[in-house]
Amino acid sequence: MAQSVKGMRDLFGAELRWFQHIEETARRVFGRHGYGEIRTPILEELDVFKRSVGESSDIVNKEMYEFTDKGGRQVVMRPENTAGVVRAAIQHKLLASSDPVLLYYIGQQFRYERMQTGRYRQFWQIGAESFGVASPESEAESLLMLHSFLKELGLKQMVFSINSVGTPESRPAFYEAFRAFFAERQDRFCSDCHRRIESNPLRVLDCKNESCQAALEGHPVITDYLDEASAKHHARLKALLTELAIPFEENPRLVRGLDYYTRTAFELLSSDLGAQSALLGGGRYDGLVKQLGGPEVPAFGWAIGLDRLAMVLQQVRGEAPHVAPALLIPLGERAATEAFKLARGLWDVGVAVQLETRGGALKKAMATANRTGVQTVLILGDGELDGGTITARHMATGEQESWPLSELAARLKPAAS
RNA sequence: GCGGCUGUAGCUCAGUUGGUUAGAGUACUGGAUUGUGAUUCCAGGUGUCGUGGGUUCGAGUCCCAUCAGCCGCCCCA
């Protein structure tokens, strides 16, 4: 049997309904915050990611779907969407003025990784990027939007982890202090940590090895090494979040895998996801636009994993909200003809109804209605036609009533909307 | 990329030290009921045993390879 490529999955049914509900909510919430949608190509030139995500990152190192196209171009199926959005904003001169530019995207991303629950090779991200504003206020605005988005989806108990990773100028001082601390007791750390201290020093801090955790006692904290402006920025953001009642906790050990972050970095984990617990992440990336050949424009953004979000919502809220349309069952040829006209009249005024076109036994149609979760069945036979009515049966209670055909649309509309 | 586990009906799973015609529940199809759906009763498909090799008189069972999924690591959404 033919099957989907490893790590690629088909979305349909109940799971897709969560996706759709999430996307609708995102468009509504982001739209009212003044964000506009952007859609960028799945394929980008290799250089776009090398220069943004960073050549040292695992994503660029080993996780990219990368190939040479028929024209000899080195292209990549995007592993994330921020770099593409920045590239597009530069290319189309969206950042030419000093006006803020607010964009969001919804799209598939690709990473060549080992499969696991909640980790796919094609996965979906929803993200928002804010260009042109360096203030902590712009970060609070973006986070408030994110908070509203998740709240409207029915997610409770979210606590953002936030940190400040400083600037490219201030960070070396911390790394120096931390590496010195590490060197003093390096024999107490595991081999993984010896690798991490070179590639991504903060990762040493969340090593699961007990002896490493013990060795970390009294380690230097990154927020103690911030320059004055970054420290002030960080304090102001925390004050705003507190003022807005957005729950957060400071996590001086938080570090992100992409190279481009400056100052604020944050993420949200979920215990409903198993080992792949990261639900969303983001932060400030003031240097990225210039790095990709654009003007010097500050930026802030985040991305949330749609697959993982759908999984969490399925866990905490069950099935996605869904109302099956009423089912119209005609009995006999005369009624079948009339049912078409009736259904068309309903469709034309925006009422949802499904038409049973199989003919045959009513029993069979009823069984189908029961299986598919139809709440209201409409039975149209000769008796009803002669009387100008239709029989409405409420599946949950088994109650039946006779509705005048003239009132059908009005009676159905509240139930279907 | 590293380590471990799993794969039998649409779904959830049994299946003896290798033994002859593959099982249960549920779902599905038809009928008891030709204008009434979760219950009841009766009758029934329920299958390349993930795939391909090998050992054997004989493989769902043992061996090898391969594919897919799951768990942990790395990392991330």
Whether A373 CB is under 7 Å from strand B: no
pLDDT more than 90, % of chain A: 61
Residue A348 has pLDDT above 60, yes or no: yes
Enumerate long-range contacts of A167-170, CB under 8 Å, 24 or more apart. A167/A227, A167/A230, A167/A262, A167/A263, A167/A286, A168/A262, A168/A287, A169/A227, A170/A225, A170/A226, A170/A227, A170/A230
> Closest nucleotide to A123's CA, by C1' atom?
B77
> Closest nucleotide to A112's CA, by C1' atom?
B1
Place of tokens 């902590």: A136
> Closest nucleotide to A8's CA, by C1' atom?
B68
Exposed/middle/buried for residue A238 (C-beta within 10 Å: 0-12, 13-18, 19+): middle
- Which A residues between 267 and 306 have a beta carbon under 7 A from any strand B atom? 267, 274-281, 303-305
Instruction: Please tell me the pTM assigned to this model.
Output: 0.91
- Which A residues between 40 and 69 have a beta carbon under 7 A from any strand B atom? 57-59, 62-63
Express each pLDDT in A283-296 by its tens digit: 999 999 999 999 99
What mean pLDDT is predicted for residues A353-368? Answer: 88
Residues 6+ apart with CB under 8 A from A128: A30, A35, A102, A103, A104, A142, A145, A146, A301, A302
Place of tokens 């729950």: A247
Residues 6+ apart with CB under 8 A from A157: none
Q: Where are the beta strands (DSSP E) in A58-100?
A: 65-68, 74-77
**Type of residue found at A92:** H
CA distance A43 to A108: 11
Express each pLDDT in A241-284 by its tens digit: 999 999 999 998 888 767 788 999 999 988 777 666 789 999 99
CA distance A110 to A75: 13
Express each pLDDT in A34-58 by its tens digit: 999 999 999 999 999 988 888 777 8
What mean pLDDT is predicted for residues A372-401? Answer: 91
ipTM of the complex: 0.84
What mean pLDDT is predicted for residues A152-165? Answer: 91
User: Maximum distance among all alpha carbons in chain A?
Assistant: 94
Q: Which of A149, A151, A130, A158 is nearest to A24 (CA)?
A: A149
pLDDT at A62: 83
Whether A70 CB is under 7 Å from strand B: no
| Residue A77, token pair as written in the block | 């199926």
Buried-state track A276-298, b at ≥16 Cβ within 10 A, e below 16: bebbbbbbbbbbbbebbebeebb
Residues in chain A: 417
Residue A416 has pLDDT above 60, yes or no: no
Chain B footprint positions (protein CB, under 7 Å): 1-3, 27-31, 33-38, 48, 67-77
- Which A residues between 104 and 163 have a beta carbon under 7 A from any strand B atom? 111, 113-120, 123, 125
> Closest nucleotide to A305's CA, by C1' atom?
B77
Please report, rounded to whole angstroms, the spatial distance between the CA atom of protein residue A396 and the C1' atom of nucleotide B38.
10
